[in-house]
């Protein structure tokens, strides 16, 4: 996600801004920029696509910009592809207002219409420019920066950490926050702001954490906080004891655990961009209802965990929309001379948007005249650029090689496609459509509940860590979850494991089950519970140590296994999003127990952009 820094004090601002942005590089970005209030008045903005080093060269490391108050930004593109014009800071026409923003303004289109009607024009494709001009509009209306910020907060929907400078209020920075983090530090006569602690930790350890719907006026060595009623509020500082490295991980020991815990907000962000007035709206990806009605078959090609999303999507799409779905690993799909139908749709799923096999699968389908839809996390990536339609996951940059939050976001996009497809094809009625959407909206809370207490998983991990083989068994969507759980364990703990459709185990592999062999059974599909339970009995009778992930209330299953994790009851189609959480945590703790490099496992790359 984007990184924000700001400073007002007695030193030159630009070098401090550049130093702070460098501490936020780990968050991933595609462009960067700074704005400084000039000593003679007025704001100057310097920004560019590419790495911080490009920006640094443009301003001689900051020395070329004079001024003691400024804001800076590293951009992870969500609206508008990576480019200099889309980079932050954004500004109004005369640069009297400049702003940087981290988050997603969901009603940016509606605001743009309103501002256009009032004579505003726009130079970029970003929601942030619209946010900046919204503040400009209210500042012109009220003539008061706090009232302008309050009006902004009340007017926009979405998430934001925003920092604004008004040219006629030099040496002051105004900030507001909702859902995207924003911190403030004061040290003597110097005031610092950032979207994350690492950027200012070298200057101060007593940090103010902005809360939702709060505003602050930052002056040299002073911060004044306001609530949404424009009333001044008192805030206490928190003492940060972390070092910079652990601060980059938000206080978690590894990026993977930080990203596991980001999943509720990532799911919420991804879903919020696919819903409009409580209905699924895929128009941002140019996926029209008319097109969906024309689809007679779906082919899915992806790699690794993204492939496992495709397997889960097959079950959900076929169950809800009654459209046949083929899923294949992209490296097989691209070479097996696939048969394409006239009304096929190829869906490719990729976090990086650069995976060579997946890109090749996309190109092969396009050469055969097949429409293509990409589910991608990185704007401007090769797959995003070449697909006919693109739906973005809003996972932000994923640092850990083993994917978690991007996987969860990909699932959500697939669910949205399945539900919309079912709606337009009439295979579900309005009542079920509404119920499914409510179930989608309840997933973040259910995931959060699974993250609340992982004590028992930690204990189980110590038991699994000494094993040489682990089996994951499940039926239907649970089989897809087993594929992902097995890969997670292999990737980061180096323990051999296999995922098996429960019903297939008896056709050979059950010969490997013997005393104390760990078997992890995922049983969340009510229709298949009895069958799955009998598979548990089969392996138990051969001495297996069985852990089950099942729905709360399934005590008959819980009482027949050695270890049980209950997940909240949810729509059966969507349980993969919840049942995967204990498996992610289990793999993480096994890897930590074995003292391995969780975030950078041996032999693996975050993206395999070559064959």
Residue number with CB closer to ligand BG6 (512 or 605):
605
Measured from the CB atom, the residue of 165 and 306 that comes closer to ligand BG6 is: 306
Handedness of CA 70, 48, 179, 247 (dihedral sign): negative
Pairing assessment for the beta strands 222-226 and 232-233 based on DSSP bridges: antiparallel
Which lies closer to ligand BG6 via its Cβ, residue 18 or residue 375? Answer: 375
The residue among 103 and 364 lying less far from ligand BG6, judged by its C-beta, is 364
Report the nearest approach of ligand BG6 to the CB of residue 19 (Å): 31
Closest C-alpha to 542, from 565, 564, 503, 509: 509
Whether 2 is catalytic is: yes
C-beta of residue 550 within 8 angstroms of C-beta of residue 583: no
Shortest Å distance, C-beta 372 to ligand BG6: 15
Q: Measured in Å, how far apart are the chain's first and last C-alpha atoms? A: 29
Q: Which is nearer to ligand BG6, 477 or 487 (CB)?
A: 487
Interface residues toward ligand BG6, by CB under 6 A: 303-306, 350-352, 355, 358, 401-403, 604-605, 607-608
Q: Which residue has the tokens 């999507």?
A: 313
Name the residue number minimizing CB distance to ligand BG6: 304
Residues whose CB falls within 8 Å of the CB of residue 268, separated by 6 or more in sequence, listed in order:
444
Output the smallest distance, CB 275 to ligand BG6, in A. Answer: 24
Residue 303 or 585 having the CB closest to ligand BG6: 303
3 state SS of 179:
strand
Q: Which of 2, 204, 414, 573 is catalytic?
A: 2
178-213 burial string, b = 16+ CB within 10 Å, else e? Answer: bebbbbbbbeeebbbbbbbbbbbbebbbebbebeee
* Minimum gap (Å) between residue 356 Cβ and ligand BG6: 9
Q: What does residue 21 show for φ and ψ, rounded to 5 degrees?
A: -65, -35
CA distance 265 to 259: 10
H helices of 219-283, where? 244-248, 255-272
Q: How far is the CB of 572 from ligand BG6 (least distance, A)?
A: 25
Catalytic residue among 38, 448, 594, 606: 606
Q: How far is the CB of 262 from ligand BG6 (least distance, A)?
A: 16
Whether the CB-CB separation of 340 and 367 falls below 8 Å is answered with no
> Cβ neighbours of residue 52 under 8 Å, at least 6 residues apart?
18, 21, 22, 25, 32, 74
Residues 6+ apart with CB under 8 A from 456: 563, 565
Residues serving a catalytic function are 2, 606
């Amino acid at each position: 996600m984007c990184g924000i820094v700001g400073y007002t004090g007695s030193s030159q601002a630009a070098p401090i801004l550049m130093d702070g942005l460098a501490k936020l590089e780990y968050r991933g970005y595609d462009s960067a920029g700074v704005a400084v209030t000039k000593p003679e008045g007025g704001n100057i903005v310097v920004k560019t696509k590419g790495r911080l080093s490009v920006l640094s060269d443009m301003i001689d490391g900051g020395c070329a910009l004079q001024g003691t108050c400024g804001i800076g930004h590293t951009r992870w593109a969500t609206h508008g592809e990576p480019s200099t014009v889309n980079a932050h800071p954004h500004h109004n026409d005369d640069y009297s207002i400049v702003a940087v923003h981290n988050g997603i303004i969901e009603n940016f289109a509606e605001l743009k219409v309103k501002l256009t009607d009032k004579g505003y024009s726009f130079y970029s494709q970003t929601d942030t420019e619209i946010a900046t001009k919204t503040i400009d509009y209210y500042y012109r209306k009220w003539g008061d920066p706090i009232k302008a910020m309050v009006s902004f907060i009340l007017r926009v929907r979405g998430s934001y950490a925003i920092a604004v400078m008004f040219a006629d209020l030099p040496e002051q920075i105004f900030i507001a926050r909702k859902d995207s983090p924003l911190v403030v530090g004061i040290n003597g006569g110097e005031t610092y702001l950032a979207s994350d602690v690492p950027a200012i930790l070298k200057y101060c350890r007593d940090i103010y954490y902005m809360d939702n719907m709060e505003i602050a006026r930052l002056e040299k060595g002073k911060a004044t906080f306001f609530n949404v009623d424009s009333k001044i509020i008192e805030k206490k500082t928190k003492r940060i004891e972390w070092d910079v490295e652990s601060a980059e991980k938000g206080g978690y020991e590894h990026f993977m655990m930080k990203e596991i815990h980001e999943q509720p907000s990532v799911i919420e962000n991804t879903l919020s961009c696919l819903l409009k007035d409580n209905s699924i709206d895929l128009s941002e990806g140019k996926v029209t209802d008319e097109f969906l009605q024309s689809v007679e078959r779906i082919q899915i090609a992806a790699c690794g965990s993204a492939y496992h999303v495709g397997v889960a999507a097959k079950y959900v799409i076929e169950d809800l929309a009654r459209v046949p779905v083929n899923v294949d690993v992209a490296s097989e799909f691209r070479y097996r001379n696939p048969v394409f139908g006239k009304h096929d749709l190829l869906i490719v799923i990729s976090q990086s948007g650069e995976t060579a096999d997946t890109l090749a699968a996309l190109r092969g389908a396009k050469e055969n005249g097949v429409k293509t839809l990409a589910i991608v996390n990185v704007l401007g990536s090769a797959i995003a650029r070449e697909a006919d339609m693109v739906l973005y996951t809003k996972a932000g940059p994923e640092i850990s090689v083993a994917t978690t939050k991007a996987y969860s976001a990909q699932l959500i996009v697939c669910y949205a496609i399945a539900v919309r497809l079912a709606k337009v094809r009439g295979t579900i009625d309005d009542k079920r459509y509404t119920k499914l959407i409510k179930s989608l909206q309840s997933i973040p809370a259910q995931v959060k509940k699974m993250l609340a207490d992982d004590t028992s998983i930690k204990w189980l991990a110590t038991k699994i860590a000494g094993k040489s083989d682990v089996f994951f068994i499940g039926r239907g969507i649970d089989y897809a979850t087993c594929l992902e759980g097995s890969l997670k364990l292999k990737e980061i703990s180096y323990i051999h494991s296999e995922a098996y459709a429960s019903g297939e185990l008896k056709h050979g592999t059950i010969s490997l089950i013997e005393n104390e062999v760990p078997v992890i059974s995922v049983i969340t599909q009510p229709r298949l519970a009895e069958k799955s339970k009998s598979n548990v009995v089969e392996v138990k009778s051969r001495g297996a140590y069985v852990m089950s992930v099942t729905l709360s209330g399934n005590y008959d299953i819980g009482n027949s296994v050695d270890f049980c994790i209950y997940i909240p009851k949810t729509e059966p189609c969507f349980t993969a999003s919840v049942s995967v959480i204990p498996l992610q945590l289990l793999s993480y703790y096994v890897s930590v127990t074995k003292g391995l490099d969780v975030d950078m496992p041996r032999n693996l790359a975050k993206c395999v952009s070559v064959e």
